């Protein structure tokens, strides 16, 4: 939706940039993806339309903001996934909430499989790219927002313990930047999950206790961004941050360039995630049966929503009993 709040005349070069931006936005929107400003910027860089620099990113951001205010770029075109308003949903009738519940009815499709799978992504801004895969395949999605907090890591360990009680392994698929901190985050997740899942915890307030954490199997796989993907997709590089305390070891191993996860197209990231999650399904037949059962449950709810008036007539005499 394009709405003009502040009319503005752009120079020819800026008009061309806005036109290209809308074309890129439309291209990804056709596949169901709404880009962040960072993702749009990397599309410009990948097409050699602007240089890869903070200055170019800031200029593009200012141009897109002006383009939206002047009615040249749709307000629905760019998504800010880090700032969301929390609103309470409202319904026209109980039937409407049943209809909505049909879309949210999920069975545990991983029940009976060998592994519980979770997708962890370094940046909250990229969570929208992975949410479709997580919903489609019924796995947990966690936005780490950099290094994960101790509380969130402990909660993940609890999920690993619970999976172990179901005789299942616990698999974390990690997606992060290929830079000094982004690479180290995978190591940090592995180390702290090993600590929490090692069974070495002891109740401090119970000296007679020998422990409280059960052993749990947890595997952490870094799915992206890796050097093989950098060679295949050739995302635009950035200088490694020399101020990062981890830069010395990174530069020794990978050189002075770094790459952001955002630089890969959303479709590529989604395909990588989907392929790795599907590879963890040990019993495809059982998984398909659970999907069919889930689809039937959703259809039953939709049928109840369609027939809500008749259902309400039958239920009203029982109210207050």
The chain-wide mean pLDDT, for the chain, equals: 90
Any idea what the CATH number is for the domain that residue 216 is in?
3.40.1360.10
Q: Over the stretch 40-88, which tens digit does the pLDDT of each residue have?
A: 999 999 888 999 999 999 999 999 999 999 999 988 888 776 666 777 8
63 and 137 together in one domain: no
- Residue 88 inside a domain? The answer is no
149 and 27 together in one domain: no
Residue 197 · residue 213 · CB < 8 Å: yes
19 and 126 together in one domain: no
pTM of the prediction?
A: 0.84
146 and 63 together in one domain: no
List Cα–Cα distances, 40 to 143, 190, 252, in angstroms: 21, 32, 31
- Residue 154 inside a domain? The answer is yes
pLDDT of residue 101 exceeding 80, the answer is yes
pLDDT of residue 204 exceeding 90, the answer is no
> What is the Cα–Cα distance from 284 to 170, expressed in whole angstroms?
18
51 and 185 together in one domain: no
What does the pLDDT average to over 24-49?
90
User: Which pLDDT does position 201 carry in this prediction?
Assistant: 58
225 and 278 together in one domain: yes
Residue 84 · residue 125 · CB < 8 Å: no
Per the structure, how many domains does the chain have? 2
Tokens of 160: 């690993």
Residue 125 · residue 38 · CB < 8 Å: yes
- Residue 42 inside a domain? The answer is yes
User: Which pLDDT does position 19 carry in this prediction?
Assistant: 93
Residue at which a domain ends, from 34, 49, 69: 69
Q: Over the stretch 236-292, which tens digit does the pLDDT of each residue have?
A: 998 887 778 899 999 999 999 999 999 999 999 999 999 999 999 999 999 999 999
152 and 262 together in one domain: yes
Domain span at 34: 12-69
128 and 277 together in one domain: yes
Cis amide linkage into residue 225, ω under 30° from 0: yes
């Amino acid at each position: 939706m394009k709405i003009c709040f502040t009319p503005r005349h752009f120079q020819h070069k800026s008009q061309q940039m806005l036109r290209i931006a809308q074309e890129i936005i439309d291209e990804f929107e056709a596949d169901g993806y709404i880009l962040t400003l960072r993702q749009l910027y990397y599309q410009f860089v990948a097409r050699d339309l602007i240089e890869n620099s903070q200055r170019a990113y800031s200029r593009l951001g200012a141009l897109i903001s002006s383009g939206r205010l002047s009615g040249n770029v749709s307000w629905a075109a760019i998504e800010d996934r880090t700032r969301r308003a929390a609103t309470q949903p409202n319904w026209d009738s109980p039937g409407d909430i049943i209809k909505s519940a049909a879309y949210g009815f999920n069975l545990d499709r991983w029940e009976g499989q060998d592994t519980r799978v979770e997708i962890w992504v370094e940046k909250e801004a990229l969570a929208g790219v992975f949410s479709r895969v997580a919903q489609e395949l019924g796995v947990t999605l966690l936005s780490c927002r950099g290094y994960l907090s101790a509380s969130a890591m402990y909660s993940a360990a609890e999920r690993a313990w619970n999976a172990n009680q179901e005789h299942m392994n616990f698999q974390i698929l990690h997606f992060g930047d290929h830079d000094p901190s982004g690479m180290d985050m995978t190591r940090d997740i592995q180390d702290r999950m090993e600590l929490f899942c090692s069974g070495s915890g002891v109740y401090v307030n119970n000296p007679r206790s020998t422990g409280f954490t059960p052993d749990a199997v947890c595997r952490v796989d870094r799915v992206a961004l890796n050097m093989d993907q950098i060679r295949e997709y050739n995302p635009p590089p950035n200088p490694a941050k020399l101020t990062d305390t981890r830069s010395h070891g990174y530069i020794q191993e990978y050189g002075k360039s770094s790459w952001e996860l955002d630089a890969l197209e959303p479709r590529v990231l989604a395909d990588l995630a989907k392929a790795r999650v599907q590879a963890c399904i040990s019993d495809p037949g059982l998984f398909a049966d659970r999907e069919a059962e889930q689809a039937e449950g959703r259809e039953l709810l939709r049928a109840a929503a369609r027939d809500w008036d008749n259902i309400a007539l039958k239920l009203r005499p029982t109210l207050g009993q």
